[in-house]
Amino acid sequence: MSKEKSGYGFLIKWLIIIGDLILINGLFILLYHWTETYTIDEFNSKWNIVILLLNFSYLFALSVVPVRIYKPVMFTDRVVQRSMSLVAFHAVIFICCLFFLKLGSSTFPVKFIVYFYLTLFFFFTFWRIFTREALKRYRRYGGNYKKVIIIGAGKNGLNLYAEMKRDLAYGYHIDGFFDDNILLKNTLPNYLGMTYEVNNYIKENTIDEIYCTLPNSQDEKIMNLLDLAEKNMIRFYLVPEFSRYVKKKLTLDSIESLPIMGVRSEPLQYTYNQMFKRAFDVLFSIVFLCTLFPFFFLIFGIIIKVSSSGPIFFKQKRTGIYGKEFDCYKFRSMRINEDADEKQAIKGDPRTTKIGNFLRRSNLDEIPQFYNVLKGDMSVVGPRPHMLKHTELYSSIIDKYMVRHLVRPGITGWAQVNGYRGETKTMEQMEGRVRLDVWYIENWSFLLDLKIVFVTVLNMFKGEKNAY
Question: pLDDT tens digits, the chain, 468 residues: what are they?
Answer: 334 444 456 678 888 999 999 999 999 988 887 765 554 444 456 677 888 989 999 999 998 888 888 888 778 888 888 898 899 999 999 988 877 776 555 555 677 788 899 999 999 999 999 999 998 898 888 888 889 999 999 888 998 999 899 888 888 999 999 999 888 888 888 899 999 999 999 999 999 999 999 988 888 999 999 999 988 889 999 888 776 666 667 777 777 777 777 777 788 988 888 998 999 999 999 999 999 999 999 998 899 888 888 889 989 999 999 999 999 999 988 777 665 555 665 565 667 777 878 887 777 889 999 999 999 999 999 999 999 988 988 888 888 899 999 999 999 999 999 987 766 667 888 888 999 999 999 889 888 999 999 999 888 777 665 555
* Residues in CB range of 307: below 8 A, 6 or more apart: 353, 354, 355, 356
* Closest to 70 measured CA to CA, from 141, 3, 146, 5: 146
Cβ atoms 341, 327 nearer than 8 A: no
Residues in the chain: 468
